[in-house]
Structure 1
């Protein structure tokens, strides 16, 4: 490519001008449209960026409108366009035996190529073509363009001249250092949510209540559940944490374990990619795994839900795949069993994985001994059959048995196709038009791109096909399709897809004539993967690498979520007033602090079995703790409290000053309540 450009300097100039024009237009469009700007910034930061770039706001009858500065946009576009090639050229001068011009040209070409998706969306926006698709995918196209800038810098400079003849020292510390750093960051974020009272009990801290109640003879459940938790999911993997939890019985222990599990996914990814790409390339794949933002949403999901047992299935499947490639069938079975214990959803990828094993064994029959090939095909068939039967038994019989015969609760996520799993599957087959229509929505396309592109997983399409059945269900899931706010895989439903996608990313794709060319191509492909992971992480991640983490006006900024405020300080006065032998009903975000009490009930309007499915607290409740300031509170003042309005003779207000942020009620003993009523 560089030789071609050296003979055609006009081509190089054309590519630079193309990228400059695309970036400049994209900056103007983004800054002048609140719909697009809010996908990157809070309103306050958007206004600051407009003003700092020389733009202004003017008042129109429809409201304030931003007017971007063309000189400011041109300056930003010039820095974006020329910065990476100049950095690559300067870096290459000291690190590589190649010429400075080669690095400049190559980085310019990469930047132009990665700007093509953004150019297409710019054109579509200006022509008003498919604006829904454009608006949803706009931040993703910007992320890809950013990735091109990173790739232009990191992918090109080779070893320094005096290093060419030196033997390489193999070390795993760059990988383990990144794993430990990621674990520390994710743990700190989760603990920050806990200490700042931002961590919900439902779908998060309730799993710690499972372990506490299980160890204290109350059953494997929280009091949110309509019975035993197995009536919700066959999800018991967190029981494996009991040896650690017994010594440190706290929800913080579970958060640490989950962060470690997610971060450790990079190690089997490293082992697998080292086998196929080489040691140097594997390092970049491992780093890309840690930057893969869909996995970040398993650490902190929608509504700030943190601990989810389904996350433990990700490293389990990755280790199982590593064992599969090494033909360690026993250990593979153990890993996949752990994954199934993380949630029954993993059966939806293990069944097609079994089919893949069969096809792969047949495809490579010339290089396999007949006995080994037959064994591999039998193992694949056994996995496919077992996973299918397991899923059918769990969904059709096991979960309904624990629910008193009711169908699984998540059937309602697909209610457009029916009310029961059998009815849903039947209607999917009978109504292919509706099915295809769901797969081609802007949300479905955006989700597909956001899952696959950040680690360039398309290079191994046969492995990606393993994920197809579950991805179809993800696209049909009405919770995911109707998710408020920006479209991204912020729920937990995509968790089983992650190990399959990461596995596909461990392959360079294509073939080269020589071993040296294969090695160079593998290294380039892995850096390409890393660049995409980094670019998308900047736009979409909640971690310190994401824009939103540092945006002071964002609801996801560090100072709003992870630093205890007055609300947390005032709440600290409450637990000492309530004996641990009490039965406490509390609102969601303070509920996690009462899971070690005799009973810990949910205070909400949601019908619970422990409340006879009525809008009340259980009859044996001793205390009620109300958080007036949490984000979803339906009760904001004492006058709105149900118990004080409907049965004031049964409850008394505990005198404690919390600046109006909390209210604590104590049940009046029955005899005292009767005496009060007589008077």
Structure 2
């Protein structure tokens, strides 16, 4: 009885050790990058502070009220991501915005395991190494890490696991892995809808029950989307609306800076795809990530909702391929689409019946030499694309991320604001001030009856557009009838305390 157990353990180890090692290597690299960013005082946006406040509230078993967005602002009225409540316990033990960066790195790295394991089953260990590393360092995943924490990082491992299950025709597992996407972000309900259609198409030869199951799942995705944007988001948004129009234009509804975006003419399909031209570059990099042939997989259709709301929108950052987090969900979809095509090339008979054998050599042995060569050729396309574009991606800047010489001064500014205080600040120390404090952004506190007790300013922050700003004078001007006095000033950091 013991010998079969040892054999089973050995088989599991032989199957999973390489994908796990690849994932750990990718995760370690991303954590190193995030820590380097943190020490270099790199702050690409205010989003990390926003999510830190939301998760801090979850750690206290409270609603995600985020003062950075505005007094009393419930973040579930901005985007719908209740799944982030699962991070509350982690934040409670490690109360820092850096915790969220590490969590994001771990989630992205975890998605490498199923993708590399499937590549190993199809192409052997060399394939696991090639596909796993190129996927893990993929353009959209690097962009997400460089842009710091966003909720879509939770979707990445779910899409990877669901995509692998689709390739292996494990429909129940595929649907189970993708269902939580509706709790990650509102638009991902449309991605679930497309997954249901893909499952229906691929399983159409399995009889009417299989088709009905796929269609029911697609219906679940579209219903979840409609309920979220028509009922849930408006119910929690201070302005009683969905803060982002269907054409992708951010209105900022419900924030002090918000307003309404004027209706604009719906662009033609040609304009949506080609104007500005960076959209074509994004499409090209996406197709290359799927080895181009991956676009023939029904799974590739899952990219359409994300591309649609981005390309039809009017926000320039939605279009780009080399930065931000918007491409993160596309990378696992493209990788699994490529592996789906390779699976059908190498073992068409297994793809037809869904045999889930686990020998890394079975598929190559059963395929013709030409098909195997073709599979390796298309598997190398994403690697070639990554090599060509590497210098434009965040990890290329890693050698330049050295500790900011103002770090000690920044820590002094943080120490000058006591725990439990309310504080208004710009982007530089926004996320760092969150643990234990009530933090406001300098653009969203104007409507408060009683302004924050402290104002923290970094004169070098891009939030000021190069203008000279002093914390004491700015606080008094921003909040008429109240005065502030400077209590800390060093290396461009200024801290002022309210005196009246």
Regarding TM over 0.5, the answer is: yes
Provide the residue aligned with 2:415 in structure 1: 576
* Pair 1:653-2:485 in alignment: yes
Q: Judging changes above 3 Å, is the alpha-carbon distance between structure 1 residues 325 and 415 closer, same or farther for their aligned structure 2 residues? A: closer
RMSD: 3.3
Q: Judging changes above 3 Å, is the alpha-carbon distance between structure 1 residues 602 and 503 closer, same or farther for their aligned structure 2 residues? A: same
Equivalent in 382, 386, 392 of residue 216 of structure 2 = 382
Q: How much does 1:391 deviate?
A: 0.7
| Cα distance between partner residues in 2 of 1:415 and 1:243 | 34
| Cα distance between partner residues in 1 of 2:471 and 2:54 | 34
| Cα distance between partner residues in 1 of 2:107 and 2:79 | 21
Q: Judging changes above 3 Å, is the alpha-carbon distance between structure 1 residues 328 and 629 closer, same or farther for their aligned structure 2 residues? A: same
CA contact (8 A) 1:295 1:495 kept: yes
* Pair 1:631-2:470 in alignment: no
> SS of the counterpart of 1:493?
coil
> SS of the counterpart of 2:463?
coil
Q: Judging changes above 3 Å, is the alpha-carbon distance between structure 1 residues 598 and 212 closer, same or farther for their aligned structure 2 residues? A: same
> SS of the counterpart of 2:440?
strand
CA contact (8 A) 1:292 1:533 kept: no
The structure having more radius of gyration, on CA atoms, is: 1
> SS of the counterpart of 1:650?
coil
> SS of the counterpart of 2:107?
helix
TM-score by length of 2: 0.81
How many residues align structurally?
454
Q: Judging changes above 3 Å, is the alpha-carbon distance between structure 1 residues 405 and 376 closer, same or farther for their aligned structure 2 residues? A: farther
Provide the residue aligned with 1:83 in structure 2: none
Q: How much does 1:269 deviate?
A: 1.1
> SS of the counterpart of 1:579?
coil
Provide the residue aligned with 1:462 in structure 2: 297
> SS of the counterpart of 2:464?
coil
Equivalent in 155, 160, 178 of residue 22 of structure 2 = 178
Q: How does 1:393-432 map to 2 (within 5 A)?
A: 393-404=227-238, 406-411=240-245, 414=248
Equivalent in 291, 296, 320 of residue 162 of structure 2 = 320
1:410-447 Cα deviation digits (max 9, x unpaired): 2186459xx9xxxx9x999xx6x723322133222111
| Cα distance between partner residues in 2 of 1:569 and 1:249 | 20
Provide the residue aligned with 1:191 in structure 2: 35
Provide the residue aligned with 1:662 in structure 2: 493
5+ unaligned residues in a row in structure 2: which ranges?
A: 1-12, 254-260, 348-365
Provide the residue aligned with 1:139 in structure 2: none
CA contact (8 A) 2:156 2:328 kept: yes
* Pair 1:346-2:188 in alignment: yes
Q: Judging changes above 3 Å, is the alpha-carbon distance between structure 1 residues 280 and 563 closer, same or farther for their aligned structure 2 residues? A: closer
* Pair 1:524-2:376 in alignment: yes
1:242-265 Cα deviation digits (max 9, x unpaired): 333232222222211110111222
Q: How does 1:354-369 map to 2 (within 5 A)?
A: 354-362=196-204, 365=205, 368=206
Higher RCO, 1 vs 2 (CA within 8 Å, ≥6 residues apart): 2
TM-score by length of 1: 0.61
Q: How much does 1:392 deviate?
A: 1.1
Provide the residue aligned with 1:163 in structure 2: none
| Cα distance between partner residues in 1 of 2:369 and 2:37 | 48
CA contact (8 A) 1:625 1:663 kept: yes
| Cα distance between partner residues in 2 of 1:618 and 1:412 | 34
Provide the residue aligned with 2:9 in structure 1: none
Provide the residue aligned with 1:267 in structure 2: 113
Q: Judging changes above 3 Å, is the alpha-carbon distance between structure 1 residues 239 and 218 closer, same or farther for their aligned structure 2 residues? A: closer
